Amino acid sequence: MKNKNPTLPLLSASPLPGAALAKTGLAVAAMLCSFAAQAQVAIFQESFSSGLGGFTATGTVGTSTGAARMEGCYGCTDGAITSGAISTQGFTGLSLSFDRVTSGLDSGEAGIAEYSTNGSTWTAVESTRVTTNGRVTFSLPDTAAGQAALRLRFRIDASLSSETYTVDNVQLTGIPGDTGTNPYAKGPNPTTSMLESSTGPFTYATTNVSEFSASGYGGGTIYHPTNVAGPFAAIAISPGYTGTKSTMSWWGERLASHGFVVITIDTNSIYDQPYERAPQLMAALRQLVTFSNTSSHPIYRKVDPNRLGVMGHSMGGGGTLIAARDNPTLKAAIPLAPWNTSTDFSSVRVPTLVVACESDTIAPVSQHASPFYNSIPASATKKAFMEMNNGDHFCVMTGNDYTRIMGKYGVAWMKRFMDNDTRYSPFLCGAPHQADLSNIQISEYRENCPY
C-alpha cells in the first residue's frame, strides 16, 4: 500500500446527521436558509445526476450511480474530480458541504476534499477513511472568499481499483456582501421568487417624452423608481422594425421596479435600420442625463451618467450591438432577437447578454443571434446567450410567455454589470442558474462564467 500520511487538520468540520440526505431535501433546506437575513445562499452545487456536470475528471471516475465514484490505482493516476472556476466575489462566510463515503481504504490511504484559489496550490479541508455514508460541512477560511476563480477538488489516494471514494451533493454557499460596501447596490438580497415576479421591490412612475421634446430620437416613456434614493443606472431600449415603444413597455416596468431609470423609445422612423437606431439609443441616454440635471424634471438627480446601458429588439437589437461596439464605456447591453446585416462584433467589450427566440423566422438564430454572440471574444468580454424554447421573433416583446425567466436574466445581467452587484452573480453563474438550465423555456444557454 502507498506510504502516505493523510492526516491533515480539519477546518471547522460540522458533521450533519443522516446517511444519504435526499437531494430534494437539500433543495428545500437551501430554500429555507435563503429567507433568513444574512443567510447562506448557494453559489455552486452539483448532484452528478447528469454526469460530472461542473467537474472534470482524471483517473478512473464513474457517475452511473448518480454520484462521483473515484477509484484508486497502483502505479497510475488515482481518480479525482476538479470543478471549473467558481466566482466567490461579493461573498463572505463560505461553507462547503457534501456527502461522502469511502470503501476498502487501508492505513495511509484517504478520500481528500480540497480547494484552490489559483488552480495550482491546494488546501485540504478533509482527509478521511470513514467507511459509512455521511454528510459534512466545512467553513472555508476568509482567503477563499472574494475570489474570481475558486476551484474544488475531490480525489482518492489509494492503490487498488476496489478502493473507492464517492462524493455527492456538493454545495458551496456564502453570505452575500453587505450592500453598504457597494454604493450602487440597492434593494434586498435577491431571491428566485423576487426576480421571477412581474415587478421588483420598488415602486415606479412614468414620464412621457414627446417627439417634439426628444433630442435625436422619436420620443419615449421614462420609467423611474419612486421609493428609493438615486442616482440609478440608466437604460435605453429600442423597439424593432415598424415597432413602437409600447412593444418594450414590460421591460421598462420590470427594470424600473428593480432600481433602474429606463426609457423605451420611439425611433425617428419606424423603418430605421440598426445603424440608425444605435445613435438614437445613445441620444436618449444623453437626454436622460440632461433631464437628471434639470431641477424641474421628475427624474432630477436620478441618473448616474457613468452607468449607462442599452437594449433593443430585432433591428433595435442590431442597434444595441452597434452601440455597444462604438461606445465601450457602456456598462451592459442586451440585444433581443437581434437582426443586423453584419455578424462581426469582435470589437465589443461591453458585457452582453444575447437573447434569442428558437423559432425566429425573421431573424433566424443561426444567421443572426448565434453568430453575433460567437463573434464577441470570450477572452475579452463577459457574455451570455439565452435561447427561448419555440419562441418566434416576437418572444421578447410585451405580452410574451417568457417574462418570468427572461425578466429574471435581464434584471440579473443589468444588476451585475451596471450596478456591480455581485449578489446577482449566482443567478447568472451559480446554483440558481444551474437549476434554470432544465427549465423547459430555455432551449439553449451559453456563457463564459465566472462573473
Which residues are identified as catalytic?
Answer: 314, 360, 393
Do residues 343 and 378 lie in contact, with contact meaning Cβ atoms separated by under 8 Å? no
Chain-centre distance of CA 151, in angstroms? 18
Do residues 256 and 227 lie in contact, with contact meaning Cβ atoms separated by under 8 Å? no
Which whole-number Å values give the CA distances from 260 to 232, 276, 335, 350, 443, in the listed order?
A: 5, 25, 18, 18, 29
Peptide bond into 231 cis (omega under 30): yes
Closest CA to 144 of 89, 204, 104: 89
Q: Where are the beta strands (DSSP E) in 7-67?
A: 41-46, 55-58, 61-62
- Residue 292 belongs to what H/E stretch? helix 274-292
Enter the C-alpha cell of residue 1. Answer: 500500500
Dihedral class, residue 251 (left if φ above 0, else alpha if ψ from -120 to 50, else beta): alpha
Please name the residue that has the C-alpha cell 458533521: 15
Packing angle of the helix pair 249-256, 403-418 (nearest 10 deg): 50
Beta partners for 60? none
Which whole-number Å values give the CA distances from 437 to 303, 428, 433, 447, in the listed order?
A: 34, 11, 7, 12
The whole-angstrom separation of Cα 34 and Cα 37 is: 8
